[in-house]
Structure 1
């Protein structure tokens, strides 16, 4: 053992003797953990004042942008609107984070855009920018080295440059084709160091550009949904009745000669809580539901085995077309307090059926 060789080198001890000798040392190291001191309570009112001050300062920074929606803003929108390629958004540090968000917002609202890191651009990513693109560069100081390094190459390509800075006299502002002023009187950080008001102002200016372009392009909610197919909005705006309805043999349906008993069997087999009653051509005449069945059971004069279902069916029930949005079926069900719908074509032929559980599975509701 190392301990035996180092501490008991001159002693003639066995390993067992060394272990016994070492035991007190081991026990000495096993000490109870001291109780942690309770954290010093902080001043809640001071926290509140600090937070309110941040909100006030940043709100003032946003309010000041109203006077900057001017000719430069219009020119920036026109350059971006006329872009045959994509909007390349770039920035370093916190401005880079804002630039990423602006690129994402532009892309999801009808203006193709992506983010390029300015440092990476100097090491190959500049090849992602083509002559058809427009560059939107963000820098509060307007003197970010990484951006200034790639500017000559961007200008040499003839790529339009829109700069968003807090310093109209900066190098980036002077070299740009269009300058957007996002300067702020002060940062919300009491040290005046952490980008707070300045990043908020840049973010709001980016949103203003994106939404102005959205409206200029006539971008619709369905266009937005196509960019968000996995989201709730995408499902609501892209999913149609035809995508979720039961079809063919899965449609509960009986003819006019069916008895209540036969209608109940059909409802049970298909599991939608209803059945359609149709004519020989498949056109809808009425519907019989679970609710109708309960009312029939309570009526002692009705024989389930012999009473024709047409006697108790609901004539002209609520229906929906297969090309309607699935969310519309949810609205119809909610408005009329029903849980299932038959789907009919323009000739009133039954082509499908669905209930609230189908909409839940499709995550429309």
Structure 2
């Protein structure tokens, strides 16, 4: 069985698709006007949720818009218009705002539920490619997402039109995010399972070693005993503290290697003879990602953790941060 080989024409067609869809999105810029601000106002003052609805490809785009809104500070979910007329309409209350998506503006399933939505007092924002359509005329606010042509060579398959609506939905979500003062920490709270959430929500206290797992010695401790403490701790170093547990230095694997290289008799030395003084430390309430940045900047692999008085409360190394998936 012979295989079909794509021709060079396919590359030209692919570039044309991207060009048409790019032009469709750029054309929206001049339509960001008072109607867009009215839509923002309706959503910002909404006491309920934002409901996004649409049929077919508009429905798929609507699910993504609802998801983007929800993850950027605007509570939202998708309702299928056909299911809405068979009971799911009960998900929508008078305090909600419905965003109806339909390129033609004549989607029968969507138009069927509009009277009920309006009757109970919910607001309607329509996003269509026809400002004279039934859905556009019934809406409290209409956003024009018309495109000059679809990217499909037949000018039939929803391509440029769905891309335009998707981009318009992103514009709404980002404008709402900014208006609400939604920041990186807010975003992390709605994405706790992602890498950003871990980076912005994980603090040093969440990953540091404490109690018996914390390696520490006094300055007068023999180096031989410090070696045992470093091995017990398993993080490649031990903190050196005063009787009050104030950190005055650290002894790392590197310090031991340098002492060996100088041919020092480690049996006769105390920790004070080889420790690194004025070590880098970090507070328990700092973000774990800040510990990563400090380690990378100063080319170290371990950090003692101290409180505001400089007293030892914990320690961590790069492996702890890897394990917590902060890196």
TM over 0.5: yes
1:318 to 280, 300, 313: 280
Distance 2:116 2:301 in 1: 63
Distance 1:335 1:178 in 2: 52
Distance 2:273 2:75 in 1: 60
2:253 to 287, 290, 293: 290
Q: CA deviation at 1:40?
A: 3.1
C-alpha RMSD over aligned residues:
0.7
Distance 2:72 2:272 in 1: 52
**2:315 matched to 1:353?**
yes
Larger Rg: 1
Q: CA deviation at 1:41?
A: 2.0
2:149 to 165, 183, 186: 186
Aligned to 2:301: 339
Aligned to 1:124: 87
Structure 1 gap ranges (5+) = 1-36
Distance 1:259 1:128 in 2: 71
Aligned to 1:362: 324
2:46 to 80, 83, 86: 83
2:145–2:161 Cα contact (<8 Å) kept: yes
Distance 1:85 1:320 in 2: 43
Distance 1:91 1:118 in 2: 6
Distance 1:161 1:80 in 2: 10
Distance 1:276 1:298 in 2: 22
1:114 to 77, 88, 102: 77
Q: TM-score, normalised by structure 2?
A: 0.99
Aligned to 1:42: 6
Distance 1:315 1:40 in 2: 71
Distance 2:121 2:4 in 1: 59
**2:172 matched to 1:209?**
yes
Distance 2:226 2:246 in 1: 17
**2:217 matched to 1:257?**
no
Q: TM-score, normalised by structure 1?
A: 0.89
Aligned to 1:156: 119
Distance 2:50 2:5 in 1: 49
Distance 1:71 1:42 in 2: 47
Q: CA deviation at 1:304?
A: 1.4
Distance 2:318 2:293 in 1: 11
Aligned to 1:272, what secondary structure does the other structure show? Answer: coil
Distance 1:103 1:190 in 2: 30
**2:159 matched to 1:196?**
yes
Structure 2 gap ranges (5+) = none
Aligned to 1:267: 230
